[in-house]
Structure 1
Amino acid sequence: MEGTKKIVLLGQFGVGKTSLLRRFMTNVFEVDYKTTLGVQIKKKEITLPSGKKLSMIIWDLEGFSSVSNTRTSYLIGSDGFIYVFDLTRPVTYFNLREEIDYIEKNYPNVCLKIIGNKNDLKDSSSIEEYLANKNLKVHGFCSAKTGEGVEEIFRHIAFKIGSNE
């Protein structure tokens, strides 16, 4: 093993963080929804474009109404954050600017990716425009249900933080 990186999934309750992680780890989607309590930690090894191996330690946190309510101990030592919002629930992205400002202020050296989930249920173009007007760049849209874009999201952040060694 050449490197280990901690990646934390952030976002409100019910946005699909656990489903995204399950899809990435096992390529499975389960329709029965189980609420994450506290934190669930998974490990997956991938090969970077350089040929080096990277062990991703992925922390799937319970959903909070605001990232500022997340236990600091869960976030300390993170190399990457994937902030997930739900394309079908505006409440999960209306305050996204404030959420991202908080993360960037308190964790300025942590790689951050903003992801819209459930694109199998809603067109993302109007939401992307809304967020662009808030000076936010979404790094990808995906669907834990269909698997579209999931692998790419995790690999992209792994490649980004893995190349910083």
Structure 2
Amino acid sequence: MSAVARKICLLGDFAVGKTSLIRRFVEGRFDESYLSTIGVQISRRTVTLAAPDVTLNLYVWDTAGSEPFTAVVRSYYQGARGAILVCDLTRPDTLQSLTKYVREMSAVNKAMAFVVVGNKVDLAGQREISDAMLDEAAQQYNAPWFLSSARTGENVEEAFQVLAGQLR
């Protein structure tokens, strides 16, 4: 059985952990150092979904999350079937920003699947976004949501698998 190619993007403000989530999902590791993504980086991982058996080559596009790149990044959205919307649980403004990314992505691709990820759940003492706030945002985008940690790996695989399941 041949694999079906699917393009997905990780969207969110700078330093929410998009690159770290991708690295954890694709390579199974976490790097403590922070390097801001410039432009786009593309990673690939093959996933097999059960019932019915489908193999997907997920092409994961990691886009810059800073405002100066917005016009350029919009062109990277072309052809995407899904997106993981990432916010940093210690920075409430990053949850509010997701609306902008959904609007931009939906303008380019009409039928999109979304998953919301509240990242950095391992920083429990610094958390400022509640489950209720995440749930409210996810409902706006008709999306499931996860609390995750790229550092520990908590719910990273699950979030990507749920999105992949919507892309059959």
Same fold flag (TM > 0.5): yes
Change (3 A) 1:76 1:104: closer
Runs of 4+ with deviation above 6 angstroms? none
Counterpart contact for 1:20–1:150, Cα < 8 Å: yes
In 2, Cα distance between equivalents of 1:101 and 1:12: 14
Query: Is 1:157 the equivalent of 2:149?
Result: no
Q: 1:125 to 1:8 in 2, by over 3 A?
A: same
CA contact (8 A) 1:116 1:138 kept: no
Three-state SS of the structure 1 residue aligned to 2:75 is helix
1:110 corresponds to which of 99, 109, 112: 112
Of residues 139, 147, 154, the one that matches 2:145 is 139
Identify the residue that residue 85 of structure 1 maps to in structure 2.
87
Shift of 1:82: 0.8
The aligned amino acid for 1:45 is T
SS of aligned partner of 2:53: coil
Contact kept, 8 Å, 2:86 with 2:117, in 1: the verdict is yes
| Distance in 2 (alpha carbons) for counterparts of 1:12 and 1:125 | 16
Change (3 A) 1:10 1:95: closer
TM (normalized to structure 2)? 0.84
Q: RMSD over aligned Cα, in angstroms?
A: 2.5
Distance 1:144 1:2 in 2: 27
With over 3 angstroms needed to count, the CA separation of the structure-2 counterparts of 1:66 and 1:150, relative to structure 1, is farther
CA distance in 2, matches of 1:66, 1:90: 21
Q: Which amino acid aligns with 1:128?
A: D
2:132 is equivalent to residue 129 of structure 1: yes
Q: Which runs of 5+ in 2 are unaligned?
A: none
Q: How far apart are 1:92 and its partner, in Å?
A: 0.8
Q: TM-score, normalised by structure 1?
A: 0.85
